[in-house]
Structure 1
């Protein structure tokens, strides 16, 4: 499943929203300056990479899907790209000062991801895990779009609770000084842009092609029904944690 998004590598980068620049300032302040190296796990096509480069640290990106890794290398030639799963990647001796993961923590092996992240960091190193949560500014839009999804595909898609990766990291007992700043912004999308976004969701990519089309038709009709624009309440959580020195 970690290679699911290679099917839509180009669309993924165009359709998914980027990350607020405030994430860079938060990581730098938490780390106590610019790390001398950053490793990003599950970097995909580089949506978060472009933001993380604002740290000014030499960057290595670890990405298991060769299609995503190729797009990432073309987009950011200054970045070292390693095509491998996190579980197969060997960190340098002594560990790295900072490890980041954006929208990919759930794709890592839940039995080992915290231990691997801990062991990849040098003592005192910084872990930064972040991701978006999509909601709707207007409750009526939320209800209409959810009803459209369910009308086309009644099978319920399980959503992880807010803050799940904070609880996962803090609950591992491997890290100290765990913090979780939240960044919010309104994101208006027209019908076509929203459908492109839906087309990159793992739940949509798992559906058979005919069912994908039914979902897009139903959701598109719902958005057109209230003027052709949906305003997302885009919430980005950043979890910061430290390997004990």
Structure 2
């Protein structure tokens, strides 16, 4: 299941990039977001990184992706619409300009790579791909990627029961985790691919997948839960009830669990001149 809020995927007639209030809800606890959210696998960065490359990080948030690319020897600029998230990124050493990507002024700057980690669904896929083509050098690469997680069987039913009990009228539930978690990602991938193809300036988009695992203690998972989009605007009493129920479920399996992740990327290179 993607770490995207399910209600955003299901909003009829409304694209995610149009829901600005939802998109900027993560900044309400930017420090927690930076601390708790998962990073991205080295195998993906190795495919995207060239030491000394100029990288533009779209929707950089608190700079999680940007710092990984900086550690790999890249020069990174972030673009982030939420000033609260950008402030954390700057404090952690990332250069950030506050703007939506569609409205951002590149001022003639050119980049080797444009990336977006867990953020491209908040960008208009057509305008975003066109802006990426504008700022990429010939042969430069665009890569939008997401972490998709699969809870282990020993906790998934208990977690789902908590959400159904506390939020019975919410579209947020974990039933999909008992099926195929990558299925929920397909709409996002198709929109990204269509936007890239529509520019006429990129190679045929590719889909890359990297599987990895991470062990979460009870406290580490409970720290991340409030950063999930469907929960960022919950009343404190409801959130506390969810955390209590999930914490109890984790206690019953020994105080921790191993999460399986798949990082899915849509990527293409700029092959034609921008008109």
What TM-score, normalized to structure 2?
0.78
Q: Provide the aligned length of Structure 1 versus Structure 2.
A: 238
Separation in structure 1 between the aligned mates of residue 63 and residue 110 of structure 2, nearest angstrom: 23
Check the 8 A contact 1:9/1:67 in 2, yes or no. Answer: yes
Check the 8 A contact 1:148/1:222 in 2, yes or no. Answer: no
What corresponds to 2:36 in structure 1? 15
Check the 8 A contact 1:63/1:69 in 2, yes or no. Answer: yes
The gaps in structure 2 that reach 5 residues or longer are 1-21, 177-182
Separation in structure 2 between the aligned mates of residue 54 and residue 93 of structure 1, nearest angstrom: 26
Structure 1 stretch displaced more, 180-189 or 39-48: 180-189
State the Cα distance separating 1:10 from its structure 2 match.
0.9
1:215 aligned residue (221, 238, 242): 242
Separation in structure 1 between the aligned mates of residue 132 and residue 237 of structure 2, nearest angstrom: 39
Separation in structure 2 between the aligned mates of residue 44 and residue 59 of structure 1, nearest angstrom: 13
1:183 aligned residue (210, 216, 219): 210
What are the residue-to-residue correspondences of 1:66-145 with 2, within 5 Å?
66-76=83-93, 79-93=94-108, 95-110=110-125, 112-136=127-151, 138-145=152-159
What corresponds to 2:184 in structure 1? 161
Check the 8 A contact 2:154/2:253 in 1, yes or no. Answer: no
As a proportion of its length, which structure holds more helix? Answer: 2
Structure 1 stretch displaced more, 154-163 or 7-16: 154-163
What corresponds to 1:243 in structure 2? 270
Separation in structure 1 between the aligned mates of residue 37 and residue 167 of structure 2, nearest angstrom: 23
State the Cα distance separating 1:48 from its structure 2 match.
1.0
Structure 1 stretch displaced more, 5-14 or 224-233: 224-233
Partner of 2:185, secondary structure, is: coil
Separation in structure 2 between the aligned mates of residue 208 and residue 100 of structure 1, nearest angstrom: 34
The gaps in structure 1 that reach 5 residues or longer are none
2:56 aligned residue (31, 39, 42): 39
1:196 aligned residue (202, 219, 223): 223
1:171 aligned residue (194, 205, 215): 194
